[in-house]
Amino acid sequence: MRRALPLLALAVLAGCSTGPAQAEHTVVLVAHDSFTVDQAVLDAFKSRSGITVDVRKSGDAGALANQLVLTKDNPVGDLAFGVDNTFASRALDAGVFAEYRSPDAGKGPQRYAVDDTGRLTAVDVGDVCVNVDNALPNPPKTFDDLAKPEYKDKLVVEDPATSSPGLAFLLGTVAHFGEDGWRDYWGKLKANGVKVVSGWEEAYTQDFSGSSGKGPRPIVVSYASSPSAEVGEDGKPRTSALLDTCFRQVEYAGVLSGAKNPDDARKVLDFLISEDFQKTVPESMYVYPAREGVALPGSWATAAPLPDKPATLPAADIAANRQRWIEQWRDTAG
């Protein structure tokens, strides 16, 4: 363990004072709870740029989006990471983000652009899918299977009003069953004992039997990449993603309107889509990098293949119907 130097000594070594000049080179990055980065990566960025990244976590991605909207006139940071395509329109309509197009946006992230303003830049892709504990005999394979009697009281999902994977799963059922069929499907899930919790952390780490929490339910809504985090000593994943249940989820970063330090916030956003940061994304957050040409861990080919044809919905449809679908979901299964 390294001994920490006194703050004054650090300031002298950095060639700056401990007063306002130091604060000017700190960027507050507001993120959801699943944002993870090796401190050594941030330290290397600081040594190159002189910028300290102060990460402040703010619940699930859905809770993050809600907080950003509620605090848009007095932003809680300079930059935000974790608003995804299911909540992006709400944040954009509220004017949460400032326009900025990173020089590296064309190296992959721009293919996931929500609109042409550059206010949000894609950082990673993490398709939301049903995951199963491989210890479960005769596991389900499709949406319809989840409503069968043999899977009664075995599924846990996240609330779409507060959780981005929960909303993505709801949107996946809308895309699969259509406007006329998705509510009937959720009625069947409710009759079959589906459990609804507020966010991914609770669902995956407390209720799901295939994770470290060893919960009571062997089926959970998580990500296509989640099995890569559950590989046993034998090299085989203990869980599997049902690739026929996936909905494409993209996570974005953006400079906040009214940020106290927008210039440095732009540099941090550039860093988030740089090759140096993007190559850490798979093993730190278990999602796929948005930048093209970034190598994935070898085990992902079998443990966490990217779905070929995930369900999607046009951003305009999500924006126009999201709140109505959530309210209808509450009436049906909430």
Strands (E), 106-184: 121-125, 128-133, 155-158
Residue with the two structure tokens 């950082």: 123
Residue 295 forms part of a structural domain? no
Residues 88 and 136 in one domain: no
110 half-sphere exposure, CB direction, 13 A CA radius:
11
Residues 317 and 239 in one domain: yes
- Confidence (pLDDT) at 2: 32
Dihedral angle sign, alpha carbons of residues 30, 123, 321, 258? positive
Q: Which residues of 282-307 are buried (b: 16+ CB within 10 A; e: fewer)?
A: beebbbbbbbeebebeebbeebbebb
Residues 71 and 220 in one domain: no
Residues 113 and 210 in one domain: no
Residue pair 273/290 in contact by the 8 Å Cβ criterion: yes
Could you tell me if residue 268 is left (phi over 0), alpha (psi between -120 and 50 degrees) or otherwise beta? alpha
Residue 70 forms part of a structural domain? yes
Count of domains for the chain: 2
Residues 88 and 233 in one domain: no
Q: Report helix, strand or coil for 236.
A: coil
Residues 182 and 328 in one domain: yes
Is residue 47 packed enough to be buried (19+ CB in 10 Å), middle (13-18) or exposed (0-12)? exposed
Please give the Cα distance from 212 to 164 (Å, whole number): 22
Residues 215 and 324 in one domain: yes
Please give the Cα distance from 86 to 318 (Å, whole number): 7
- CA distance from start to end of the chain: 48
- Confidence (pLDDT) at 208: 98
Residue 300 forms part of a structural domain? no
Residues 223 and 255 in one domain: no
Residue 174 forms part of a structural domain? yes
Please give the Cα distance from 159 to 173 (Å, whole number): 14
Please give the Cα distance from 99 to 175 (Å, whole number): 31
Residue 12 forms part of a structural domain? no
User: Which residues form the domain of 239?
Assistant: 128-248+306-332
Residues 94 and 197 in one domain: no
Residues 317 and 327 in one domain: yes
Residue ranges of the chain with per-residue pLDDT less than 70: 1-24
> Could you give the residue ranges of the DSSP H alpha helices within 194-261?
200-202
pLDDT tens per residue, range 215-252? 999 999 999 999 988 988 888 899 999 999 999 999 99
Residue 217 forms part of a structural domain? yes
Residues 88 and 158 in one domain: no
Residue 17 forms part of a structural domain? no
Please give the Cα distance from 287 to 304 (Å, whole number): 9
Is residue 177 packed enough to be buried (19+ CB in 10 Å), middle (13-18) or exposed (0-12)? middle
Residue 53 forms part of a structural domain? yes
Give the CATH number for residue 244. Answer: 3.40.190.10
Could you tell me if residue 253 is left (phi over 0), alpha (psi between -120 and 50 degrees) or otherwise beta? beta
Residues 211 and 312 in one domain: yes
> How far, in Å, are 11, 14, 36, 42, 259 from residue 50 at the CA level?
12, 8, 21, 11, 18
- Confidence (pLDDT) at 73: 95
- Confidence (pLDDT) at 17: 38
